[in-house]
Amino acid sequence: MFDAVRKRTVGVLALGAAVSMALAACGGTTGTTQPSASINRTGTITIWHGWEGSYLDTKKAIFDAYMAKYPGVTIQLVHKPTLDTAVTAAVPAGQGPDIIAWVDDWVGKMAKLEIIKPLDDQVSKDFLTSTYSKPAVEAVTFDNKIYGLPETVEAISLIYNKKLIQQSDIPKTTTDLLTFAKTYQQSHPGQYGIVWNAFNDAYFQAPWVYGFGGFYVKADGTVGLKEQGTKDAVKYIDSFKSVFPGKPDYGTADQLFKDGKAAMIINGPWSVSDYGKAGVDYGITTLPTISSTGKPASPFVGVKTMMVSANAKNVPLAVDILKWFSNKDNQIKEALDNKEIPSNLAALADPQVKAIPQVAAFGAQVANGVPLPNTPYMTALWDPVSKGLEAAWTGKESADQAMDDAQTAAEKNVAQLK
C-alpha cells in the first residue's frame, strides 16, 4: 500500500466508547492463530506492499519473527510504489506476488478481475467475526465472500506542532482555518499555518468533499462530482492557493512539517512515527467543522487489507502468515510502534493500546469519517478526481468546469466496469 502518498488508500469505530460498542457487537476474542497440521510451512512467500520508512520496520520485524519460528519459510517483502498498476499487470500474466498488501477500496475490483482469491475455504466467517471489528470484516468481504484479512484501520487527521500552536488555538471551523492560514503566514514569513497534499490527491480532499455534502461515487455507480457540495469543497481547497507552496504535494507538505515550517498538517497514522523521529513535538486533533454545513470534515476510513494473489502456490501458508500478522500480539505491536488503530478486537481492547494518546486521537477522527468503499466503482474515481483537482488548482479550469469534466471521465470509467 502506498502509505506515504495515498491515492485512495482508505464510519469505522474509534477507541474509547467505540471500543466497548464494537466488543459488545462482535464479542471478545484472543485473536490468536491456531496451529494447523495441514499447513506446509516450507517455501517462499512474496509480499508486494507500499510500506515505507520506519512504518515498515515494525512490519518487517513481525515477518522476521514468523520466519524465526518456522525456519523453513522465507518471506520476501517487495516495495512497489505503484502497487495497483504493478499487480494488475503482473497477476493476469501469471506473475506477481503471493500476498498483496493494499487498502480495501481495491477488494471489489481485484475480486472481479480474479486477481485475488476468495479465502472461504481457509478462513471461516466465525473466525473473521470473532477476531476482527465489524467494519474491518465488512471491508474484506465482497459479494458475500472473504477476500483477505484486515490489518489496521486508518484515517487522516489534523496533526499540529505544539511548539508553533497551542491546541486551544487550533481553528474549529473551515472559515477559521483559512483565516488562520493567512494571518499565520503574515506574522511568520516563509512559513505556513497549515499544509496538506492539496495539489491533486483525491484521498486527501475527501474530508472536505464529504463534509461539504458532496461525494465521489455511490455503491450503485452514481458519480457525485457535479454535486454542489463537491464543487464547493474544491473551491474551498483552492482558496488556500495564496498561503500554500506552489505545488503542495505530499512530499512538500510532509517535509515542511518535519522542518518546523508548518504549524499544522493533515496526515495519517503512518506519518507520526517519522514526525517523532524528526524531533517534532506533535499533537493530533480532529479536522474542523464545515462552516456552511455544520458537518465535520469527514475523511475516508480505510482498512488496510492483506489479500492472497490468484497465483499463490501455497494458499494455506499464505493465510497462516496473514493470521500471524494480524493476531492480537502483533497488532498491539503495530499500535505501540506505529500508533495504528488495530482491527483485531482483542488488540483494540488491550489496556496498552487504549492508553496510547495518538491511537485515541486518530480513533476520534475515525468516528467522523466515512467508510472507504470496496466497490469496484471506487477505483474508477481516483484518476478523474485527481486530474480535476489539479486542473482547478493550477487554474487550467475553473473548479466548476474541472469537476464537470471529471464527472464525465468518471462516468465513462464506471460504465466500463458495469
> CA separation (Å) from 404 to 224, 281, 346, 411?
10, 42, 46, 11
- Span 51-78, average pLDDT: 95
pLDDT at 116 over 90: yes
C-alpha cell at 231: 464543487
What's CA 94's distance to the chain center, in Å?
Answer: 28
Q: What percent of the chain has pLDDT over 70?
A: 91
pLDDT for 32: 41
pLDDT for 326: 97
- Span 21-29, average pLDDT: 34
Q: At what angle do helices 269-277 and 357-366 cross, to 10 degrees?
A: 150
pLDDT for 17: 34
Which pLDDT band, with edges at 50, 70 and 90, does 42 fall under? very high
The rounded distance, in Å, linking the Cα atoms of 185 and 168 is 19
The rounded distance, in Å, linking the Cα atoms of 180 and 91 is 48
Summarize the chain as % helix, strand, coil (round to 5).
45, 15, 35
Position of cell 515505507? 52
pLDDT at 53 over 60: yes
User: What's the whole-model pTM score?
Assistant: 0.80
Which pLDDT band, with edges at 50, 70 and 90, does 101 fall under? very high
Which pLDDT band, with edges at 50, 70 and 90, does 38 fall under? confident
The pLDDT tens digits for 70-81 are 999 999 999 998
Strand order in the sheet with 282-285: 192-195, 262-267, 157-161, 282-285
C-alpha cell at 373: 468503499
The pLDDT tens digits for 7-19 are 333 333 333 333 3
282: enclosing H helix or E strand = strand 282-285
Which pLDDT band, with edges at 50, 70 and 90, does 219 fall under? confident
Which pLDDT band, with edges at 50, 70 and 90, does 28 fall under? very low
Q: Are residues 17 and 360 in contact, defined by beta-carbon separation less than 8 angstroms? A: no
pLDDT at 1 over 90: no
Domains of the chain: 17-154+301-371 (3.40.190.10), 157-300+377-417 (3.40.190.10)
pLDDT at 6 over 70: no
Residues belonging to the chain: 418
Q: Are residues 334 and 294 in contact, defined by beta-carbon separation less than 8 angstroms? A: no
pLDDT for 134: 87
Q: How many CB atoms lie within 10 A of CB 208?
A: 26
pLDDT for 373: 84
pLDDT for 377: 92
pLDDT at 412 over 60: yes
